[in-house]
Every structure is written in structure tokens, then in C-alpha cells.
Chain A
Amino acid sequence: MSVSCLHFSSQLLLLLSFHRHVNTISENTTSITEPRVETPAPKTPPLAPLIPTQTAQRNVLLTGENHTEEIEVVNPVVLNLECIWPGNGKRLPNITGYWTKDGQTIETSYSNIQLENDLYRLIREFTIMNEDDLGNYSCLFGPKAKVKFIVAAPHLGEVRDKPIVSYVGDSVVMVCKMDEKKPQPISWNWYIQNGTNKVQIESDSNAHKYKITKDGNKTKLLVYNLTESDSGVYYCGAVYAVAISMGYMQLRVITYYEPLKPFMGILAEVVILVAVILLYEKIGSRKHGESAGTEENKDETNNLSHRDNDVAVAHSSTRQRKV
């Protein structure tokens, strides 16, 4: 119960701190406000000193051996991460704790942790300024316990896994959407894969070829006059202050000959079947004509059989009506 309270309060604080600072960023001030007194004064990074930084705190009380926490970061922030571990019963007075980023140990983070009130505490401050600072941060208590913080920009939802198919000379629309509940990006960018690089698509210089529409948490890329060289991977990037969140989709441009092949195949099958059926009927009727004897007999039989049909029908339909 205490863990959930801690979680809830820390999340609430995170929300509150972001809320307050959205206005300040748009006004371009350098004010830094503190949400809580627990944390020390935030360090401003050496690069870009004019960018205002917020502070946020995350405390996690580890109950088992592993825990994962997701932190969504939109603007540059100074993250204070604290891991609290009650120990595993051995009650050692000192253990070694350290931090890793994306699996790589942060050398300067090694520290001796004292047991205080039956709890081991590991706390560290991280400055999240740009894309390089995003990643998986983990605090480790010796080899025994670990808490992983996944620090990332908001992910794009609903990414289409199947390639988009379109035809030469046709135009195609590619859509990228950010979930309604997540914060809206500042802008959207579109990129095309060129070898191993991502090249940004400029819609202004290629107005006859590309058209980009940005609509809050939705963006569309229209590509006109498709050619086969337009096939490939396209990326849409949701631009946030801290990083650009990417989503990708694959475009496949084919010529009309592709569907034409199965079309011709099925057409051939239809023609062959119809021919076979009609031929079979012709052969069958010829055989029947020979075996039935003279033409007169055949007509007479047909007359009678048909009269039978009509009379039978008349009788049977009236008969059916009886209960």
C-alpha cells in the first residue's frame, strides 16, 4: 500500500511539474521552479545554458528483484531517480551500488550504500537534454536487485507493419498519428531512407512531388507521380524539445503488370473451363442424337417429355398446396 502511495504521489508530482512549466517554456523565460524541497538545486548543463530545465523526481521502492519503470520525457529535464531497496534479508551493513545506462556501467556512479532504517537508498541525478540522454537507466544493488528506468520520448501508436502498396503514376497518402492522450508534438518531420541515412523531405522545394500536412497529433505525407524509385522506407518524426520520436512505414511501388499476371491466369482458366463444358455438351448431344434413332422419334419423345413436364408441374404445384 505504501508503494502505491509513493508511486501515485511521484507521478502526480511529475505531472504537476510539467504542467507548470509548459507556459514558462512558451514565454521563453529561464525560470526554474522547484516542485518539491527534497531535491538539491538542479545543475544547468554546460551546453545551451539558455534552455530552461525542469526537475522531476521518481522514487521506486523495489519489492522483488527486478522492476521496470517507464518515464515519458517531452522537454529537457533534470531527472532525479531514487531506488529504495529493503534488502534481501541478509542485512549487510554495506553494499555496493551503481548505475548503468543502456547496459554500460557509469564508472563514476559506484558508491557504498549504508543500511538506514532497514533500507538501502541509491539516488542520482540525470540531465536529459537531447536524444543521446534518452535510454535505459538502471540502478543496481550489488548483483542482487535492479530497477530499470526507460526514459524515452512518447511513442507513436498504430504503426502499420505491412508495406503500403501503390502504383506507378498514382499518388499515395501516408499517415502518422500520435495517441490523443500523449502530449502533442511541436512539429512533424518526414524522412526518406537513403542508404543508411535519413534524409529529411522538404515539401516546399518539391511541391509538385511531396505535400506535408501537419495537424496537431496527426500528419500526412502525400507523394505524387510515383515511380519505382520511390519505394523504400519512410520515417515520420514527432518533434519534441528533447528528441524526435520516429515511426516508420514501407512503401512499395509496383507497375500494373503485377496484378495483370494473376488476372490473365484466371481469365485463361475461365475461358478453358467454358470451352471444355460447351465441348462436352456438344459431344454428348451428338452421341445422344445418334443413339436415339431417327429424328422423328426424337421429336416425339421431346414433345411427350415436355408435355409430361408441364402437366406434372401443374399437378405438383397444386398438390404441394395441400396440407
Chain B
Amino acid sequence: MSAEEKPPSVLDGGWGWMVVLGAHISIGFAYSTPKALSIFFKEIQNDLQCSYSDIAWISSIMLAVMYAGGPISSALVNRFGSRPIVILGGLMCGVSMVAASFGSSIIYLYLCIGVIGGSGLALNLNASLTIISKYFLVRRPLANGLAMAGSPVFLCFLAPLNQFLLDEFDWRGSLLILGAVMLNCCVAGALMRPPSQPVVLKKVEDQSNEVSSIKDSCGQNVKKLLDLTFFKDRGFVFYLIGNLMFFFGAYAPIVFLSAYAVSLGVEEYSAAYLLSIMGVVDMFVRPGTGLIANTTWIRPRVQCFFSFAMVFNGMCHLLCPLITSYPLLVVYTVFFGVSFGMVFALIFECLMDLMGNQRFPSAVGLVTIIECVPMLLGPPTAGLLVDISGNYKSMFFMCGGVITLGGMFLFTMNVCRYHTLKKEQSSADTEQAKPTGSANQGQANISEVEIQTAVSVETDPNGRNC
């Protein structure tokens, strides 16, 4: 049979690594641009004569739109595939920056950079994650880790570039050039070759009952925009709750790290250096975590690994108030970087693992729009806590506590779920062995065996008792 002659699939290698590169670039721009833009804020503030909080809203709006645009991005990706969407996202980002360089009012900048730029990034983020799930299976954690590593890498690269551009061309010229730089997302999009023929996809989906089918009609797409049936999935709900708690406490320590260090008596330059240390550590930890998550022991337990990473992150923050000297602060920053990198390397891998290939695009859209809320509320709440209590300790306790709780919740819930699923699985397996269609049975069984042998090379041998 030709199925046997063909190599296992185009998955897990070959052009897949170029797709990872494309996703790396795309995700890198998505996460690092809102942060890297803050370098221009002082100059823009001077020129447009407004307060710092007005300017800071640009980043917040960009981040909010990037996350809130998830469902729309999912629907578009489901309809058109990743490549056109990433190219469109790249064009939108480029145009937004170029348009912003001519701005003369803060509202104009909110619209250009915040809304249009944010939408472009939303398209990029979602499409990049989706295409990784299509190209990788066995090595998916590693691919995810490598792709998510784009965020610290690009931040490391964009921050000094922005500073250089600012000195040479002032913020207007810098935004113009940055627009061109962001057009490289289109290059990333070009790399994201569609993995299969759309015609065949439709045929197979009609026969499958397990996957949720996305049809061509727009009406159905709108219904799928916010697919609330996801909330019936226990795993999804637990994942969401854990993530919400994580995002609430995740960003505040980063925002206040320098200020905390300065309050301990560290000089400003060394305090800023801490964030660079975190970035560099993050850069190496993300692919490393992907590699670890790919091992035979961790892969089936990746949800537990994820909750462990979350608890680790929370514990770091809880222990931070005990620190009073700069060397210890550096140690804290390193551990923070490690745990942060671990969480982010696994965050989408776990969702892919839970939802499977077909449901992932819609799921990630839903997750990002809901995560928007704690992500935006977290730093201001932390700031309020700092103002009320007068020191940073209470803020660290709050963030650490919330994250640790989230991690432990996720861990216990997942363990319970695994046990319940094991029982359900043994009864479901007998159903799967029944033929779904007489014509397909022979081929399905053969391909099943073939994939089993291919996948079992890397996964837990216990999982083979289907």
C-alpha cells in the first residue's frame, strides 16, 4: 500500500523547522514590540506635551488588542490558513508604525499603534501557534519552546535597536524604520507553507465525529467565533482558571523589579541590568524546557510539568521580600527568568495537548481574550497595593500567592482528571476499535498501526494500550 511506502508524514521535521523559524519571528514581534516601544515614550511625551500615564496607555492598548483579537484571528486562521493571515498581520503592523510616525496627537497614536498595530500582532500570534500544531506532533513541545523563545530574543534585539534609531532619527523616523522592520513578519508568513490540501480536509472532516468541523460559510464562522462549548471540557476550564491566576500576578514583578531594586539601595543602572539578565536567561530556558518536555518521561505528564513551573514561579516571588542585597537579587532574577521561561514555553503546548490539533485555533482565541482581563488588571492592582502599603513586599506576596495557588490548583485538578480519564479511556477504546465506515476500516487500521509505531518512539510506552 502506498501508505506504507510513504514516510510517516511531513510532520516533525524538514520544512517544519523553517515554519518554527517563521513562528519564532512572528511571536517575537508580537510579544516584544509593546515592551520595546516604551523606549520612545519620553521623547513622544516631550513632543506631544502629555503625561507619562497617557503615553503608557499606548503599550497597554496594543497588548489588550493583541489578546482581545484572538477569536477573530482564530476564525480567520480557520478559514484561510496561517500564511495569508501572518502576511496580513505583518502588513498591518508595518502600516500602523508608518502611519504613527506622522502623528501629532496622542489619540492618533492610540489608534495607529494601539488598535491597528495590536490587531496585526493578534493575527500574527494566533496564526503562528496554529501552524506549529499542524506541523509538529512528536517534537511539538520542542517546536513550541523554540518558537516562544522569539519573545526574549527579539526584545534583546529590538531594545538597543530602538535606542540607536531614537538617537539617529528621533521617534518619528524610528517608527518609520520600525514599520519596515515589522514587515519582516511577512517573510515569516511566507515561510508558513500550508501543510495539506484544503479539499481533502473537508472530506475527512465529514466522516469524523470527534473533531469540531469548521465549514466554509460565514454564518457558521461567526457561531464558532466564541465557541462556548469549550467550557464543557473540564481540562479546558481548569487550564483557563490556572492561566487567569498566573496572568494576574505574572507581569507586575517585571514592571516593578527595577523600582524595588532601587528602593533597596541598588543604583539605577544595575537595576535596569536585572531585566536584561532575566531576558537572557529566558532566551535559553524556553527551548531547553521544550527539549525537556519532549522526553519520554515528561511528555505524557506535560500538564503537571506546567503546573510545577507555575508553582516554581510563584515561590520565587514569595521568597523575594526576604532579599536585601544585590547579589541575592540577581539570583532571584535568574530563578524568575527560569520559571517564567518554563511557563511560557509550555503555556500553548499544554493547550494544544488538551484541545488537539483541530480545536486549538478556536481555543487559543478564546483563551487569549479571557486572559486579557487579568493581564491588564494585574500591574495596576499591584501598583495600588504598593501605594497603599508603602513598600513592595505586599505586592510580591500577592503575586506569588496568586500564582502558586493557580499552579497548585492546576496540579491537583489535572491529577484528578488523569485518573478519571484513565477509566473513561478503557471504555472508549473499545468503541474506537469499531468500524466507522466499512470502506475505510482497512486503511484506518493500517494507518493507525503505522502512526502508533512512529509516535511511540518518543512517547510513553504505557500509552500504547489503545
Contacts and interface: CB of A to CB of B under 8 A. Distances in A.
Contact of A314 (B180, B186, B211): B211
Given A259-B169, A306-B196, A306-B204, A270 B425 contact: no
Contact of B459 (A260, A281, A319): A319
A51 B454 CA distance: 98
Interface stretch (B278-286, B297-305, B333-341): B297-305
Contact of B356 (A299, A300, A302, A317): A317
Nearest to B179: A263
Nearest to B203: A303
Interface in A237-258: 254, 256, 258
A274 B90 CA distance: 12
A265 B177 CA distance: 10
Size category, A interface: 35 or more
A111 interface: no
Interface in B167-198: 167-170, 172-174, 176-177, 179-181, 183-184, 186-187, 190-191, 193, 196-197
Given A266-B183, A267-B183, A323-B300, A277 B191 contact: yes
B50 interface: no
Interface stretch (B2-10, B107-115, B119-127, B252-260): B2-10
A320 B235 CA distance: 13
Contacts of A274: 186-187, 190
Given A302-B196, A319-B459, A322-B463, A312 B180 contact: no
A206 B169 CA distance: 27
B200 A306 contact: yes
A263 B177 contact: yes
Interface string B33-60: 0000000000000110100000000000
Interface stretch (A63-71, A159-167, A186-194): A159-167
Given A166-B170, A173-B47, A308-B451, A314 B210 contact: yes
B201 interface: yes
A274 B204 CA distance: 32
A267 B91 CA distance: 11
Contacts of B355: 317
A207 interface: no
Interface in B151-171: 167-170
A262 B466 contact: no
Nearest to B4: A304
A180 B418 CA distance: 65
Contacts of B179: 263
Nearest to B168: A165
Contacts of A313: 137, 356-358
Contact of B422 (A277, A297, A311, A322): A322
A202 interface: no
B41 to A, nearest CB: 15
User: What is the predominant secondary structure among interface residues of chain B facing chain A?
Assistant: helix
A273 interface: yes
Contact of A297 (B2, B11, B193): B2
B451 A165 contact: no
B300 A312 contact: no
A301 interface: yes
Given A306-B197, A320-B299, A260 B176 contact: yes
B451 A306 contact: no
Nearest to B454: A312
A278 interface: yes
B227 interface: no
B167 A162 contact: yes
B447 interface: yes
Given A173-B46, A304-B6, A267 B180 contact: yes
Interface string A284-323: 0000000000000101111111111111111111111111
Contacts of B2: 297, 300-301, 304
A319 B137 contact: no
Contacts of B448: 311, 315
B3 A304 contact: yes
Contact of B169 (A162, A165, A300): A165
Contacts of A267: 180, 183
Instruction: Pick the most buried of A175, A273, A310: most chain B CB atoms within 10 A of its CB.
Output: A310
Given A300-B2, A306-B201, A320 B302 contact: yes
Contact of B466 (A254, A299, A315): A315
A172 B49 CA distance: 11
Given A301-B2, A304-B3, A281 B200 contact: no
Instruction: Pick the most buried of B353, B428, B451: most chain A CB atoms within 10 A of its CB.
Output: B451
A263 B179 CA distance: 8
B368 to A, nearest CB: 21
Given A173-B47, A254-B169, A277-B190, A307 B180 contact: no
Contacts of B187: 270, 273-274, 277
B177 A259 contact: yes
A90 B396 CA distance: 65
B177 A322 contact: no
Contacts of A302: 196-197, 200
Instruction: Pick the most buried of A162, A266, A311, A318: most chain B CB atoms within 10 A of its CB.
Output: A311
A250 to B, nearest CB: 12
Contact of A311 (B200, B447, B459): B447
Nearest to B350: A320
Contacts of A273: 184, 187, 190
A254 B425 CA distance: 69
A258 B460 contact: no
B217 interface: no
A305 B201 CA distance: 11
Nearest to B49: A173
Given A165-B168, A258-B169, A309 B9 contact: yes
Contacts of B210: 314
Nearest to A261: B177
A226 to B, nearest CB: 11
Given A165-B170, A266-B180, A306-B200, A316 B447 contact: no
A322 B418 contact: yes
Contacts of A166: 170
B377 interface: no
Contact of B462 (A299, A308, A322): A322
For the complex of A and B, list the 4 residue pairs with the smallest distance between their C-beta atoms, beginning with the closest: A259-B173, A266-B180, A312-B451, A317-B356
12 contacts: A254-B169, A256-B173, A273-B190, A305-B6, A311-B447, A312-B447, A312-B455, A315-B455, A317-B356, A319-B466, A322-B418, A322-B460
Given A259-B176, A263-B176, A319-B455, 7 more contacts: A266-B180, A274-B190, A307-B204, A308-B447, A316-B137, A320-B459, A321-B425
